[in-house]
A and B are shown apart, each in its own frame.
Chain A
């Protein structure tokens, strides 16, 4: 546990030691506020649905950017060789890095609370839906992070890690969409509709926090973190 905490602290600070965190937060808040407020005053409705609907697509590009360096950089400059010869287990490093990126995501999402507060200023939105929406946002973001982290373990090139992360998230996001489902063969229908990252998110957005959706996201996160650990260990049996 202390090991995970040490890795976590180091990685979290490193986001703020470099411009990454600031660029990420500024750009994310700017883009999401713009997309939201652009239509907000015309719609004349005090709700945040639009904000949450855009999020999977904004995250698609932002989240892999947060995780791309976590392993690729270690491999590129060779620090992985010191890191993996410390008396720490591989999964502890994976978890420490994951939690650090998740913490950055939480900070960013918390800063975006400006939006619901503005909405509350202008009208009287349904607070329950906003809260479940934010929980869904964090779950989906964490799933993206685990995918991006996994992509980063596979290469020493950050650009490749970034693209691979976007691609995997994209595929998992769209396989639950109606267009894909209608064209998929019948036997794939239930699998795709269950695996789709987006379908579970939209069901949370309706204001219902179903344990099945939570379990789904936790399993996605667990699966990709497990894959990351395997990929890190694979240096030993290659």
Chain B
């Protein structure tokens, strides 16, 4: 439904989006993940026809965003960052205005307004002015606005920012529900959000796509070693001797000793089933187990890997250039 090819956009000398390409289809929840200023918002603004790209092409539902922008806009529901709304309007008045500018037939307007009020949980505030609404309700109203014409494509820029944990969960569930049949594209810089909601993740960094896949795929890519935390009641010396003997333990560090309980962080080779093996070892020696926890490599590792690596590369490039310059000077 969305096809993006080599999209590029710069603001003056800064390149915000650099040759970005991706596809997205109905029934997908696509997460745009990236640090602040990575180019997520710019990409979304181009797709919603708010900005024009310098180079590259993008089609939405078969229509080109530059040539047939009105057709594209009809098919997209868009919630910009921080849900900007007219604070001097009433909630109902605003939704009614949106049905008009979205050119919904008069007969459907009431029904659509009722439906988005239900979906977004706005019953309690329909009599209020938007200016009186809390951040959470504004976010919901922004979402309601983007759903009012029942668009096949939904583009949400940081839909959960500024919400409390309960509201975040509600919005995530809503996104997942909508994503059953529609295409939802949403951006975030919160990692847990992506694994909780998305069927696919695009990680953007410095205007480029550095990773593209399901959250599980990306997480498994990042997995190198398994890390197990274990706490045992037993003689410290014996335990450590045993750890040294185990083949799958590549490294261990003593974390703490309290009341005869010794805790370790153990790095094990991949796919060694370290946690189970350790359990058997403990049982065989007649010690007792207080804690056994396997740390799973997750998106955070992928994210840090990808975004840090680039930065260090840039830094090393810069220092190389500096070295060159110094060399020239002398």
Contact = CB atoms under 8 A, between A and B. Distances in A.
A84 B80 CA distance: 11
Nearest to A3: B101
A79 B82 CA distance: 10
Contacts of A10: 86, 89, 97
Interface in B65-105: 70-71, 73-74, 76, 78, 80-82, 84-89, 93, 97, 100-103
Contacts of B88: 14, 17-18
A81 B80 contact: yes
A85 B49 contact: yes
A235 B42 CA distance: 12
Main secondary structure of the interface of A (DSSP, over half): helix
A78 B145 CA distance: 15
Nearest to A85: B48
Given A14-B88, A77-B84, A78-B84, A86 B52 contact: no
Given A17-B89, A79-B86, A236 B97 contact: no
A82 interface: yes
A79 B103 CA distance: 19
Given A7-B101, A236-B52, A79 B74 contact: no
Given A85-B73, A89-B70, A236-B51, A79 B84 contact: yes
B130 to A, nearest CB: 10
Interface residues of A, number: 26
Given A14-B86, A77-B87, A82 B73 contact: no
Contacts of B80: 78, 81-82
Interface string B41-52: 000010011111
Nearest to A86: B101
A85 B97 contact: no
Interface string A91-112: 0000000000000000000000
Nearest to B49: A85
Nearest to B45: A81
A6 B97 contact: yes
Contacts of A82: 78, 80, 84-85, 145
B89 A14 contact: yes
Interface string A59-89: 0000000000000000001111110111111
Given A3-B101, A10-B97, A81-B45, A87 B84 contact: no
Interface in B23-78: 45, 48-52, 70-71, 73-74, 76, 78
Nearest to A6: B100
A82 B103 CA distance: 15
B101 A85 contact: no
A235 B100 contact: no
Nearest to B149: A87
Nearest to B97: A10
A87 B148 CA distance: 13
B103 to A, nearest CB: 7
Nearest to A238: B11
A85 B70 contact: no
Contacts of A78: 80-82, 84
A2 interface: yes
A85 B50 contact: yes
Q: Which 3 A-B pairs have the closest CB atoms?
A: A78-B84, A6-B100, A236-B52
Given A6-B97, A81-B45, 20 more contacts: A2-B100, A3-B101, A6-B101, A9-B100, A10-B89, A13-B93, A17-B88, A18-B88, A77-B84, A78-B82, A81-B80, A82-B78, A82-B80, A85-B78, A86-B102, A87-B70, A87-B74, A87-B102, A88-B101, A238-B11
Interface of A: 2-3, 6-7, 9-10, 13-14, 17-18, 77-82, 84-89, 235-238
